[in-house]
Amino acid sequence: MQSGTKAKPGIADDAPQATGRARARSKAQANVTLFDVARLADVSIASVSRVLNTPDKVGAEVRARVEAAIRRLSFVPNGAARALRSSKARLVGAIIPTLNYAIYARMVESLQQHLSAQGNSLILNSSSYSLETEYREARLLIERGVECIVLVGDVQRHDTLALLRDQNVEYILTYSNADSPSVSSIGFENGESAGAVARHLHELGHRSFMMISGVSRHNDRVRDRRSGFVTELGRLGVPSSDVIVVEEEYTMAAGCAAMKKQLDAGSDFTAVFCGTDVFAAGALKACTDAGIRCPEEMSIVGFDNLEFGEYLQPAITTVDVPGVQMGVITAQAVARLLAGDKTPTKARLDAPLVVRSSTAAAPARARRTGR
Amino acid sequence: MQSGTKAKPGIADDAPQATGRARARSKAQANVTLFDVARLADVSIASVSRVLNTPDKVGAEVRARVEAAIRRLSFVPNGAARALRSSKARLVGAIIPTLNYAIYARMVESLQQHLSAQGNSLILNSSSYSLETEYREARLLIERGVECIVLVGDVQRHDTLALLRDQNVEYILTYSNADSPSVSSIGFENGESAGAVARHLHELGHRSFMMISGVSRHNDRVRDRRSGFVTELGRLGVPSSDVIVVEEEYTMAAGCAAMKKQLDAGSDFTAVFCGTDVFAAGALKACTDAGIRCPEEMSIVGFDNLEFGEYLQPAITTVDVPGVQMGVITAQAVARLLAGDKTPTKARLDAPLVVRSSTAAAPARARRTGR
DNA sequence: CTGTTAGCGCCTTCAT
DNA sequence: ATGAAGGCGCTAACAG
C-alpha cells in the first residue's frame, strides 16, 4: 500500500481521502507518526527515523525537508514505541523515603535536573520508610521500563535487590557507604560525622549527653549516626551510661517533646546531639520554653544543615550533608550505566561539622570527673 | 508454529532446546514475555493477557496455572508494549518550580502517593521558575507518553498549553484559581489570604507596612499575594505610599538582607508581611540582630505555614496553605481524567490565617493618624 | 471461556 | 545516502 501511494506522488495529500489513517488536519489528533512526516517530506520513514536519531547519516537536503515536516506537523516521537523497539526507555526511577524531608528533596531536585539535561526522565516514588512499599514501587518502576533505579540507604528487602538483578535493572545506592565493591554507592560516612560531633562536644568539656535519634529500624543512616556518636564518646572515656538516647519520628514536635521530657525528668546532661536539624529546632524550643539558655546552659547540635538552622536563635551547630553533590554524582553514574559502562561508582563525600552558636563550653556546675 | 508446539504438549519444556527464544533458566534474562508464560501454563497468550487485565473473564483453573507460571518466571509485563498497544502509559507528569521549597514538596509527595495507589507513576520535573524550561519539560513529558500533566500556577507560555492541547494531553493547574471554566484548576485564593493578613495587622493598629514579596515576574501567586495585601490595606484607608514593597528570591538570606536594609535606612513601619515563611525567618533574624523585639516593636507575618515557623522565636503568624489536600484532590482529578471523564475539576480550598506570637499591637509611638 | 490474529509506532539490518 | 521490511511485547476484536 505504501509503495502504491508512492507510485502516484504529488498532491493527493490535500484531498480529504478516507483512506486508512487520513484525517482532518484541523485540531491535531495527536497521532502524527513517522509515516505522516515521511509522506509530507516525501521520503521513507527510515530517513525520518535517521533524522531523529543519527542526523549526520542523512543528506542535508533530506534532513531539511524532514525537519520542516516535523515542525509543520508538530510531530512528537512516541516514546513507548521507541522504548519497545530499542529497549531504551530513557527513564530512571528513584525511591526515596520522603520528599517532606528537605535533605532528600534537595538531592532529588539536583538529580532530576541533571538527568533532564541528559534527556532522561525521572519517575519519583516515596516509600515512607517502608521496605514493603519500596519493593512494590520497585516492581512498578520495572514495569514502566526504567533502566536504572536510585535507592536510598543500604537496607532494603533482600528480594528488592534480587528483583532488580533478575530483571537486569541497574541500581545505585545513595546516602550509602555499602561495602560491596560491586554495587554503586554514593554517600558519606554518617558515623564519622557523628564522631566529629562527639569530639567537638567533648572538647568543650561536656561529659554527659542526650541524643535524639531518628527511628533506627531498617535505617542504617540513623544507626550509623547513633553508633558513631556513642562509640566515639566511649573512646574519649564517656561511658554509654552517660549518654541518654531516645528515638523519635522526624518532626520538630517530636524533638521538642523528647527534650521537654528529659528536662522535666531532671536528667543530667549538658549537651544534646540531634539526628537532624528538625529535632534541633524542637529541642531548642523546649529549652527556651523551660527557661534554659542555649548555649550557656545547654549545647545543641543538629545534622543535615537545613536552611532554617542558621536562622534559629541561636544558629545551630550542625553537619553539612552534601545533598546537591550527591544528586550530581548520581546523575553522572546513571549516565555511565546507561551508556553501557557497568563499572560501579563508589563515591564517599565529605559531611563536615559546621560550628555555629548553639554549642559552647559546658557549664561549670555540671562538669563531673566521675560518679 | 505455536499450534505446532501445542500438537505435542507435555514435557518438552525442560529440554534445553535451542529453538528460537529458548535460554538457560539460571540468571533470568529479563526477557520473559507473555509467550513464555503462555507456554509454561499451556494456554494462549491472550489468556495470560486476560489474567493480567481482566482476571474475572478467565476460568479459575486457567487463572491459577497462569499465575503460577507468572510467579515461576518472575514475569513483569512490558510497560512500553502495553502503552504502545493500548495507548495508556499510566504515566502522569508534573512540572513544579522547585522541590527545595517545602510547600511544593509537600504537594508532590501527597500527589505521588495517591497516584501510586491508583497504579500510576509520576514523572517529576522542576522548572526553576523558568517558562522556557517548563515548555521543554512539557515536550519531554509528552514524548514519554504521559496522559496528563500537573502544572503550577496560571502563567505558562502560550505554546506550552497549546502544545498540550494539540497533543491531546490533559493538564491540571494547581496553586491556581484560573477563571476559565474549561480548565481544571485546584488552588486557593492567594489574594484573599493576603487580605486577611492586612485586616489582622490593621486591627492591631498597624498603619505603615513593609512587604517582602517573591519575584513577581511570571508568577501569578506572588502577584496575588502582593496585590491582595496592598489592595485590602487601601480599602482600610492605608495609602500605598505607606506600604514599602520589595521583591526578593525565596531564601532566608534574602529576607534577612531585605529587612536589614530597611531597618538601616530608618524606614518607618511597624509590621512586615512576608510572602513566605522563608522570608519571615530571615526578617526575624534581622530584627533580632538589630535588637528590635518581635512582636513588641515589630510584627512579622509569613505565608505557607512551614513546619519551622512554629519553632522560631517567637512562633510566626502565617497563612496555612493546603499542600497535602491539593495533592489529594489533584490525584483524584487525574484519576477522573484518565477514566475518560473530561469535565474539569475546579477546587478552591481554604488558606486560613494562623495567628501565633509574632504579631501584636502596634507600638504606641508609631501610630500615626495622618502625615 | 479460550484461542487466533492484526497491528500500535518505531528502529535497524539488508539491499540498493 | 536512502528505501523496504521485519518484528519488539502486548491488547483487542473476532471466532469458536
Q: Do B169 and A123 touch (CB under 8 A)?
A: no
Contact residues for B234 (Cβ-Cβ < 8 A; gap 6+): B240
Is A358 a domain residue? no
Tens-place pLDDT, residues A168-213: 899 999 999 888 899 999 999 999 999 999 999 999 999 999 999 9
* Residue A48 clears pLDDT 80, i.e. is over it: yes
Does A214 fall in a domain? yes
The percentage of residues in chain A with a pLDDT greater than 90, rounded to a whole number, is 83
Q: Indicate the number of domains in chain B.
A: 1
Residue B255's Cβ-count burial label (10 Å; 0-12, 13-18, 19+) is buried
Q: What is the pLDDT of residues A297-323, one digit of tens each?
A: 999 999 999 999 999 999 999 999 999
| Surface of B (261-280) touching A: CB under 8 A | 278
Q: Give B239 to chain A, closest Cα distance, Å.
A: 33
**B198-214 pLDDT, tens digit each:** 999 999 999 999 999 99
pLDDT of B168 above 50: yes
B360 in a structural domain: no
Q: Residue A218: exposed, middle, or buried by beta-carbon count in 10 A (0-12, 13-18, 19+)? A: middle
Cell 559502562, residue? A341
Q: B220 in a domain, yes or no?
A: yes
Q: CA-based angle B325:B329:B331, to the nearest 5?
A: 115
**Residue A115: C-alpha distances to residues A106, A137, A332, B139 (Å):** 14, 20, 8, 15
Q: Domain range spanning residue B274?
A: 190-320
Query: Which of A30, A119, A126 has its CB closest to that of B112?
Result: A126
Residue B30: per-residue pLDDT = 57
In this predicted structure, what is the pLDDT of residue A177?
A: 83
Q: What is the pLDDT of residues A155-179, one digit of tens each?
A: 777 889 999 998 989 999 999 988 8
Q: Which amino acid is at A313?
A: Q
Q: What is the dihedral of CA A262, A267, A271, A276, to 10 degrees?
A: -20
Are B30 and A166 a contacting pair at CB < 8 A? yes
pLDDT band at B365 (very low <50, low <70, confident <90, very high): low
Protein-contacted bases of chain D (C-beta within 7 A): 1-5, 7-13
| Percent of the residues in chain A that have a pLDDT greater than 70, as a whole number | 90
Facing A28 at nearest CB: one of B89, B113, B166:
B166
Residue A32 placed within a domain? no
- Residue A198 located in a structural domain: yes
So what's the pLDDT on residue A24? 34
Q: Evaluate whether residue B261 is within a structural domain.
A: yes
B330 touches chain A (CB under 8 A): no
Do residues A95 and A152 touch, judged by C-beta distance below 8 A? yes
- C12 C1': nearest CA residue: A46
CB contact under 8 A, B163 and A74: yes
Q: Which CATH number goes with the domain that contains A254?
A: 3.40.50.2300
Confirm whether B53 is domain-assigned. Answer: no
Report the distance separating Cα B245 and Cα B350, nearest Å: 25
pLDDT of residue B29: 55
Q: b/e map of A89-105 (b: 16 or more CB within 10 Å)?
A: bbbbbbbbbbbbbbbbb
